[in-house]
Amino acid sequence: MNKALLTYLVWPLVKFLIAFIIVQLIVVAMTWIERRLLGFIQARLGPNRVGPWGLLQGIADPVKLLLKEDILPTSAEKIAYFLGPMLPLIPAFVVFALIPYGPPPAFTVTRVNVGLLLILAITSTAVYGIILGGWASNNKYSLMGGLRSAAQMVSYEVPFGLSIVGVLMITGSLDLVQIVRYQETNAWNFLPQLVACFIFFVSMNAENNRTPFDLPEAESELVAGFHTEYSGMKFAFFMLAEYSMMIVNSCLIVTLFFGGWTFGMFGVGLTTSVLRGMGFFGGILGAAIFFAKVMVFMLVYVWFRATFPRFRFDQLMDLGWKWMIPLALGNIFVTGLFILAGQERLMYWIGLALLGATVFYLGRKPAPRKGIHASRVSEA
């Protein structure tokens, strides 16, 4: 077997498979973790019957879904109905080939020098499946869910992309490995790009249709939105795609803003060179750090779900177009100014101050409750 084949086909495939399996294991684990964590927050237990602490719930659920009857509504558009759940899966899986999980080259599947653009391009196609599924079900609720999803994803794709621009301007590269390497020698990007990080975080919640942006499937309004008519494995595919996309986005935010597989700043701590020095174990450690960070963001998703009510559709659009996009554009402008002035280090301090101010603002004591006894006795 020649070396080129090995380098460009066999190894990437093997690595992709490993990454894919790990990610799918996380998906399975997330179905359990999410419900246990929700249970913990909501003063109840969560699934605790299948296996020790309910750990096997993640297996029991897919088995149940596989065995369920696969219902095809009589008036559904058959081809589109079948394509609906498949289409979101493809981008969600392909993207895992582009994410650097650990120190390169061993722990990156493929290294593409425009990796970030490619990821953005691929992930944005996920919405087609949802629209298609919503439309093909021939159900008004599904249709509304699909339309909401289309509008929402298109709107939030813009701040999503714009928020990345600031990072690109600082790091000067679209290569994810380069971006991580930049962060270990300087600060993690969330400090200089705090606003961008926030916008990215909000947008990725919206992209994934997670609370408080879960309008396309808003249970109390649209029954189940675009997947109302889906059952069995097709429904499971939608869920799989959703959770995979959650992981993709968590991977992205970790890579772009939180130092990827490294655990150190300004060249101090577990940087790439330190990890490489530890050999294969160092690589594993880097990947472990990476997935630990990813899990933190996955848990934040769950935390959000437990905490927030849902936005209304027009409010969601307002937030996207009137706040997120101008904010992202402003962030690009300000970043540009700092770079022109050559004061990139100053941005760390500003970021730190902003962070401190936010924590202080959120942590202050709530105002005392005011009664509502403004009697207004009717004239009658």
Partner 1 sequence: MFDVHEMEVNFGPQHPSTHGVLRVLLKIDGERIIEAKPVIGYLHRGTEKLFEHMAYPQCIPHTDRMDYVASATNNLGFVETVEKLMGVTKQIPRRAQILRVILSELQRISSHLLWLATHAIDIGAMTPFFYCFREREQILDFFEAYCGARLTLNCMRIGGMPEDVPAGWLEDIEAFCDKFDAAVDEYESLLTTNRIWKRRTVGIGVLSPEEAIEWGITGPPLRGSGVEWDLRRAQPYEIYPELDFEVPVGKNGDTYDRYLVRMEEMRQSNRILKQCIPLIRETPAGDLKAKISKVIRPPEGEVYHSIESPKGELGYYIVSDGKTQNAYRCHVRPPSFVNLQALPAMARGHLVSDLVALIGTIDIVLGEVDR
The Cα 260–Cα 263 span in angstroms is: 8
Taking CB under 8 A as the criterion, which residues in 38-77 touch partner 1?
38, 41-44
User: Residue 276 interacts with partner 1 (CB under 8 A)?
Assistant: no
Selected range binding partner 1 among 92-100, 215-223, 270-278, 349-357, rule: CB under 8 A? 215-223
Q: How many CA atoms lie within 13 A of 101 on its CB side?
A: 25
User: Residue 91 interacts with partner 1 (CB under 8 A)?
Assistant: no
The Cα 201–Cα 55 span in angstroms is: 29
Q: How many CA atoms lie within 13 A of 340 on its CB side?
A: 6
Q: How far is CA 143 from the centre of its chain?
A: 24
Taking CB under 8 A as the criterion, which residues in 280-319 touch partner 1?
305-315
Q: How far is the CB of 56 from partner 1 (least distance, A)?
A: 24
* The only residue of 32, 107, 141, 291 in contact with partner 1, by rule CB under 8 A: 141
* Residue with smaller CB distance to partner 1, 22 or 41: 41
* The only residue of 221, 276, 348, 355 in contact with partner 1, by rule CB under 8 A: 221
Taking CB under 8 A as the criterion, which residues in 228-247 touch partner 1?
none
Q: Which residue(s) pair with 360 in the sheet?
A: none
The Cα 200–Cα 205 span in angstroms is: 9
Torsions phi, psi of 366, nearest 5?
-70, 150
* Residue with smaller CB distance to partner 1, 2 or 74: 74
DSSP structural state of residue 96: G
* The only residue of 144, 245, 256, 285 in contact with partner 1, by rule CB under 8 A: 144
Answer whether 54's CB lies under 8 Å from 207's CB: no
Q: How far is the CB of 380 from partner 1 (least distance, A)?
A: 6
Binding mask 153-192 for partner 1 (x = CB under 8 A): ----------------------------------------
Q: If we measure between CA atoms, which residue out of 254, 161, 256, 152 comes closest to residue 207?
A: 152
User: Residue 321 interacts with partner 1 (CB under 8 A)?
Assistant: no
* The only residue of 103, 212, 264, 282 in contact with partner 1, by rule CB under 8 A: 212
Q: How far is the CB of 312 from partner 1 (least distance, A)?
A: 5
User: Residue 140 interacts with partner 1 (CB under 8 A)?
Assistant: yes
Kind and range of the H or E element at 263?
strand 263-265
User: Residue 125 interacts with partner 1 (CB under 8 A)?
Assistant: no
* Residue with smaller CB distance to partner 1, 341 or 380: 380
- The answer for residues whose C-beta is within 8 angstroms of residue 154's C-beta and 6 or more apart is 127
* Residue with smaller CB distance to partner 1, 159 or 212: 212
User: Residue 364 interacts with partner 1 (CB under 8 A)?
Assistant: no
Relative orientation angle of helices 325-341 and 194-207, to the nearest 10 degrees: 150
The Cα 286–Cα 270 span in angstroms is: 8
Tell me which long-range contacts 54-61 makes (C-beta under 8 A, separation of at least 24).
57/31, 57/32, 58/28, 58/29, 58/31, 58/32, 59/28, 61/31
Report the length, in residues, of the chain: 380
Q: How far is the CB of 203 from partner 1 (least distance, A)?
A: 17
* Residue with smaller CB distance to partner 1, 319 or 347: 319
* Residue with smaller CB distance to partner 1, 277 or 368: 368
* The only residue of 3, 364, 365, 373 in contact with partner 1, by rule CB under 8 A: 373
Residue 265: strand, helix, or coil: strand
Q: How far is CA 338 from the centre of its chain?
A: 29
* Residue with smaller CB distance to partner 1, 178 or 211: 211
* Residue with smaller CB distance to partner 1, 246 or 316: 316
Q: If we measure between CA atoms, which residue out of 359, 80, 43, 99 comes closest to residue 254?
A: 99
Q: Which residue(s) pair with 264 in the sheet?
A: 269
User: Residue 343 interacts with partner 1 (CB under 8 A)?
Assistant: no
Answer whether 241's CB lies under 8 Å from 88's CB: yes
Q: How far is the CB of 212 from partner 1 (least distance, A)?
A: 6
Give the footprint of partner 1 on this chain (CB under 8 A).
38, 41-44, 140-141, 144, 211-212, 214-215, 218-223, 305-315, 366-367, 369, 371-378, 380
